[in-house]
Homo-oligomer: A and B are copies of this chain.
Amino acid sequence: MNEKRPKYMQIIDAAVIVIAENGYHQAQVSKIAKQAGVADGTIYLYFKSKEDILISVFREKMGQFIERMEKEIQSEHTAEKKLSRLIKQHFSLLSENQHLAIVTQLELRQSNLALRQKINEILKGYLFILDDIIQAGKESGEFKQSLDVRLARQMIFGTIDETVTTWVMNDQKYSLDGLAEDIHQLLIYGFHAANNQEEILQ
């Protein structure tokens, strides 16, 4: 797709830059076209509508994101290490691409509910990875049996997302990567089967 339809990715990448630099509501189609080096009308040979561009941005980037994430995680064999790797990878990928971080954490959230729901649909691919890790941890005995997968997933995703958003809103002025291990530790404690003496005490 990248090779055969160079303009498609060209427009996607232009959209990321334009949205990051101008903000969601100032990202006119004509600006994206100019940034991509094509005519306004050319956009509509590759995308049905402006909304389609925005969804495609998220789909393509999140697709790559998830793909790389899955590859990284495979190399680890415990749930704990998988989770550690995932957090590091998440922070690292967004640290590398500042524009994308701004777009996903701040700008695309300004979209209307319909678009947000489509984005959420795509996000599910990421949440499934989290669910798989948690589930695997429970099955291997690493995580306690009483762990609620949905709550654990919300805690992990909520914490990561809040951390990245805070970092972006602070103009990315500190290192995100440095936080990964601490966050991992904080998250993991509550999951451990090793805490079962406390579980019993409750």
Chain B residues with CB below 8 A from A202, complex form: 185
**Alpha-carbon gap, A113 to B155, bound state (A):** 25
Tell me the interface secondary structure of chain A in the complex. helix
Q: Is the CB of B112 within 8 A of A25?
A: yes
Question: Other CB < 8 Å A-B pairs besides A151-B163, A187-B190, 14 of them?
Answer: A23-B112, A109-B109, A110-B110, A120-B169, A151-B186, A155-B159, A155-B186, A155-B187, A158-B160, A158-B161, A159-B159, A188-B190, A194-B198, A195-B195
Binding site for B on A (CB under 8 A): 23-25, 106-107, 109-113, 116-117, 120, 147-148, 151-152, 154-155, 157-163, 166, 169, 179, 182-183, 185-192, 194-195, 198, 202
